[in-house]
Chains A and B, each alone.
Chain A
Amino acid sequence: MSSEFKIEAKALNLHYGSFHALKDVNLQIKPKAITAIIGPSGCGKSTMLRCFNRMNELIKTVRVSGQILLDGENIHGSTVELTHLRRRVGMVFQRPNPFPLSVAENVSYGLKVHGLTNRAETEEIVESSLRATNLWDDVKDKLAGPALALSAEQQQRLCISRVVAVKPEVLLMDEPCSALDPIATRHIEELMSYLAEQYTILIVTHNMQQAARVASETAFMLLGDLVEFGPTINIFEKPKDKRTEDYVSGHYG
Chain B
Amino acid sequence: MKQDKAIAFALMLIALSAVSGLALITVFIFKEGLPLILKSGAGGFFFSTDWDPKAKQFGIFSMIVGSLVVTAGAMIIGTVFGLGLAIVLTIFCPKALAAILKPLIELLAGIPSVVYGFIGVVTIVPFIRDYFGGPGLSVLATSIVLGVMVLPTVTSISIDALKSVPRSYWEGSIALGATEWQSTHMVMLKAARSGIVAAIILGMGRAVGETMAVIMVCGNTLEIPSTPLDPLRTLTSNIALEMGYATGEHREALFATAVTLFVIIMILNIAALTIARRGIMSNNR
Residues of chain A having any CB pair with chain B under 8 Å: 53, 55, 58, 82-87, 90-91, 93, 95, 97-101, 109-110, 112-114, 146, 148-149, 159, 162-163, 166
* Segment from B3-11, B61-69, B107-115, B182-190 that makes contact with A: B182-190
**Any A CB within 8 A of the CB of B172:** yes
**Any A CB within 8 A of the CB of B168:** yes
A100-B191, A114-B177 are known; give 8 further A-B pairs, CB within 8 A: A58-B174, A83-B179, A84-B177, A86-B175, A95-B168, A109-B176, A113-B173, A166-B177
Q: Does A148 lie within 8 Å of B285, measured CB to CB?
A: yes
**For residue A86, which residues in chain B have a CB less than 8 angstroms away from its CB?**
174-177
**Any A CB within 8 A of the CB of B17:** no
Closest CB in chain B relative to A204 CB, distance in Å: 14
**Any A CB within 8 A of the CB of B166:** yes
Q: CB-nearest residue of chain A relative to B179? A: A83
Please list the 3 inter-chain residue pairs (A to B) with the smallest Cβ-Cβ separation, ordered nearest first.
A97-B168, A87-B177, A86-B177
**For residue A58, which residues in chain B have a CB less than 8 angstroms away from its CB?**
171, 174
Give 1 or 0 for each of B146-189: 1 = CB within 8 Å of chain A CB.
Answer: 00000000000000000000101101111111110010001100
**Any A CB within 8 A of the CB of B247:** no
Q: CB-nearest residue of chain B relative to A85? A: B177
**For residue B173, which residues in chain A have a CB less than 8 angstroms away from its CB?**
99, 109, 113
Cα–Cα, bound, A163→B176 (Å): 7
Q: Determine the interface band of chain B, counting residues with CB < 8 A from chain A.
A: 20 to 34
Which of these, B166, B169, B186, B190, contacts A113 with CB under 8 Å?
B186
Cα–Cα, bound, A110→B182 (Å): 10
Q: Does A87 lie within 8 Å of B176, measured CB to CB?
A: yes
**For residue B176, which residues in chain A have a CB less than 8 angstroms away from its CB?**
86-87, 90, 109-110, 113, 162-163, 166
Q: CB-nearest residue of chain A relative to B175? A: A91
Q: Does A113 lie within 8 Å of B178, measured CB to CB?
A: yes
**For residue B172, which residues in chain A have a CB less than 8 angstroms away from its CB?**
93, 97-99, 159, 162
Residues of chain B having any CB pair with chain A under 8 Å: 166, 168-169, 171-179, 182, 186-187, 190-191, 282-283, 285
**For residue B168, which residues in chain A have a CB less than 8 angstroms away from its CB?**
93, 95, 97
Cα–Cα, bound, A153→B173 (Å): 20
The dominant DSSP class at the B interface is helix
Cα–Cα, bound, A90→B176 (Å): 6
Q: Does A99 lie within 8 Å of B174, measured CB to CB?
A: no
**For residue B169, which residues in chain A have a CB less than 8 angstroms away from its CB?**
97, 99-100
**For residue A159, which residues in chain B have a CB less than 8 angstroms away from its CB?**
172
Cα–Cα, bound, A85→B176 (Å): 9
Closest CB in chain A relative to B16 CB, distance in Å: 40
Q: CB-nearest residue of chain B relative to A88? A: B177
Cα–Cα, bound, A97→B171 (Å): 9
**For residue A146, which residues in chain B have a CB less than 8 angstroms away from its CB?**
282, 285
**For residue A95, which residues in chain B have a CB less than 8 angstroms away from its CB?**
168
13 A-B Cβ contacts within 8 A? A87-B177, A90-B175, A97-B166, A99-B169, A99-B172, A99-B173, A99-B187, A101-B187, A109-B176, A109-B186, A109-B187, A113-B176, A149-B285
Q: Does A93 lie within 8 Å of B171, measured CB to CB?
A: yes
Q: CB-nearest residue of chain A relative to B176? A: A110
Select the residue from B175, B178, B282 with max chain A CB neighbours within 10 A. B175
Closest CB in chain A relative to B193 CB, distance in Å: 9
Which of these, B166, B177, B283, contacts A83 with CB under 8 Å?
B177
Closest CB in chain A relative to B197 CB, distance in Å: 15
**For residue A87, which residues in chain B have a CB less than 8 angstroms away from its CB?**
176-177
Cα–Cα, bound, A85→B177 (Å): 7
Q: CB-nearest residue of chain B relative to A95? A: B168
Select the residue from A58, A110, A113, A114 with max chain B CB neighbours within 10 A. A113
Closest CB in chain A relative to B276 CB, distance in Å: 16
Closest CB in chain B relative to A143 CB, distance in Å: 17
Cα–Cα, bound, A84→B178 (Å): 9
Q: Does B282 lie within 8 Å of A100, measured CB to CB?
A: yes
Cα–Cα, bound, A146→B283 (Å): 11
Closest CB in chain B relative to A24 CB, distance in Å: 26
Q: Does A110 lie within 8 Å of B186, measured CB to CB?
A: no
Closest CB in chain B relative to A187 CB, distance in Å: 21
Cα–Cα, bound, A43→B61 (Å): 71
Q: Does A100 lie within 8 Å of B177, measured CB to CB?
A: no
Closest CB in chain A relative to B36 CB, distance in Å: 49
**For residue B177, which residues in chain A have a CB less than 8 angstroms away from its CB?**
82-87, 110, 113-114, 166
**For residue B186, which residues in chain A have a CB less than 8 angstroms away from its CB?**
109, 112-113
